[in-house]
């Protein structure tokens, strides 16, 4: 039987690309991530971030299988991130449906050498969407890489209180 660490090493091997959108040209490989970004951008109001209430799932049914919604909450020393909603593909990547769980309570996220928590912190700090393309090495799945775009949401247009992410396998 594999330990959690050796299993994680088998599943997540390498980040191929990772950057905030103000750092490099954005060139996603999948239609889901491209459409997700276009949808998020269309909800922005000038320099203001869209709110969760701006997102209408009936407008983007083809994106729902790849969406996550993540709440930002104040923590003792740093913000905490909690899954509010996970689509089918994020559930596969995360190894289960972790709706309601905090990132720092999930060993696979807390101990990830290419820290998902750091990505969300970076979006908070830079106030820009963050893109990554990552290997997913698991012989029981039909894909070898996936890409993800993490976009900020804000109830008041300024203070980031949630994220919407778009994840998709790369064929």
| Contact by Cβ (8 Å): 96, 106 | no
In a domain, 50, yes or no: no
In a domain, 39, yes or no: yes
Residue 7: predicted pLDDT: 38
**First-to-final CA distance of the chain:** 30
Enter the tokens of residue 94. Answer: 């995360």
In a domain, 28, yes or no: yes
Structural domain count, the chain: 1
Longest alpha-carbon distance in the chain: 52
Domain extent at residue 80: 6-44+65-170
Enter the tokens of residue 147. Answer: 């890409």
The pLDDT of 77-89, averaged and rounded, is 93
In a domain, 121, yes or no: yes
Residue 8: predicted pLDDT: 37
Query: pTM, whole model, 2 decimals?
Result: 0.85
Confidence of residue 107 (pLDDT cuts 50, 70, 90): confident
| Contact by Cβ (8 Å): 20, 128 | yes
In a domain, 56, yes or no: no
In a domain, 59, yes or no: no
CA distance linking residue 160 with residue 170, whole number of Å: 29
In a domain, 53, yes or no: no
pLDDT tens, residue by residue, 33-79: 999 999 999 999 887 899 999 999 889 999 999 999 999 998 788 89
- CATH number at 96 reads 3.30.450.20
In a domain, 137, yes or no: yes
Instruction: Tell how far CA 3 is from the center of its chain.
Output: 25
Q: Which residue has the higher pLDDT, 73 or 16?
A: 73
Q: Edge-to-edge, what's the strand order for the sheet holding 67-73?
A: 15-20, 130-135, 145-153, 162-170, 67-73, 80-86
Q: Which residue has the higher pLDDT, 6 or 96?
A: 96
């Amino acid at each position: 039987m594999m330990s959690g660490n050796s299993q994680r090493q088998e599943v997540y091997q390498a980040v191929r690309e990772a950057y905030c959108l103000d750092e490099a040209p954005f060139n996603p490989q999948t239609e889901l991530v491209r459409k997700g970004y276009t949808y998020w951008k269309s909800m922005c109001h000038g320099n203001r971030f869209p709110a969760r209430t701006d997102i209408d799932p009936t407008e983007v049914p083809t994106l729902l299988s790849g969406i996550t919604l993540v709440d930002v909450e104040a923590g003792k020393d740093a913000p905490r991130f909690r899954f509010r909603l996970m689509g089918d593909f994020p559930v596969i990547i995360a190894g289960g449906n972790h709706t309601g769980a905090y990132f720092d309570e999930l060993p696979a996220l807390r101990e990830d050498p290419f820290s998902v928590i750091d990505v969300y912190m970076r979006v908070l700090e830079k106030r820009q969407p963050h893109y990554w393309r990552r290997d997913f090495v698991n012989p029981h799945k039909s894909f070898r890489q996936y890409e993800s775009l993490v976009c900020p949401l804000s109830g008041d247009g300024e203070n980031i209180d949630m994220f919407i992410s778009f994840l998709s396998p790369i064929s």
